[in-house]
Chain A
Amino acid sequence: GQNIDQPTEMTATEGAIVQINCTYQTSGFNGLFWYQQHAGEAPTFLSYNVLDGLEEKGRFSSFLSRSKGYSYLLLKELQMKDSASYLCAVRFREYGGATNKLIFGTGTLLAVQP
């Protein structure tokens, strides 16, 4: 079956750098997404990786290693508003499936402290 693992919680200091890891086991892998979700709100898209390597987007970067089933989200120059849950999501196609599915990990709750 498919499985996505992330740490449950992390704490970091304003202005610092934090790395949130995600490991996954899926067949038919077809892309990995990172989303940010503030409490009580809908998830918003942060980044996408389908090939190995690093994707950079402002203060956020995401890395993927398909052979290791591993990704991380790197947040630089942390701000208080970055306190949120960060969700790792994997798109995959099951054997014999007609289309891709998108499933989410449990999310990592990041608390940024002054």
Chain B
Amino acid sequence: EADIYQTPRYLVIGTGKKITLECSQTMGHDKMYWYQQDPGMELHLIHYSYGVNSTEKGDLSSESTVSRIRTEHFPLTLESARPSHTSQYLCASSESEGRREAFFGQGTRLTVV
């Protein structure tokens, strides 16, 4: 079983609030990813990191920001939540190279009202 955790699992929050979605992994993986997925739709890469203090934006433009101060931790922050941010956010991690699949957390389902 993969050791990657996301909190909270579900979050309902008002417009304009600042939120941080937590993602932690205990596998020592260098690479971590954030994906956004609407129900029945594809996963869109919004951020990724290949190590401490390295972050890159993904293919889908997002108003969120990320940080990677520690290997095991990759939080995602929305400074001012809007209803358009309502979605499921999935965090994943993998080893750097080779036959190394990405392991996913259980996701955070965010609803902004």
Contact = CB atoms under 8 A, between A and B. Distances in A.
Interface string B20-52: 000000000001010100001111010010100
Interface size class of A (residues with CB under 8 A): 20 to 34
A72 B55 CA distance: 32
30 contacts: A41-B106, A42-B105, A42-B107, A43-B43, A43-B104, A45-B101, A45-B102, A45-B103, A48-B99, A48-B101, A50-B99, A87-B42, A87-B43, A89-B102, A98-B54, A98-B56, A99-B50, A99-B54, A99-B56, A99-B96, A100-B31, A100-B97, A101-B45, A102-B92, A102-B102, A103-B59, A104-B35, A104-B43, A105-B42, A109-B40
Interface size class of B (residues with CB under 8 A): 20 to 34
A14 B45 CA distance: 34
A21 interface: no
A87 B107 CA distance: 17
Given A99-B31, A102-B33, A109-B40, 13 more contacts: A33-B101, A41-B106, A42-B105, A87-B43, A99-B48, A99-B50, A99-B56, A100-B31, A100-B97, A101-B59, A102-B94, A103-B59, A104-B35
Nearest to A98: B50
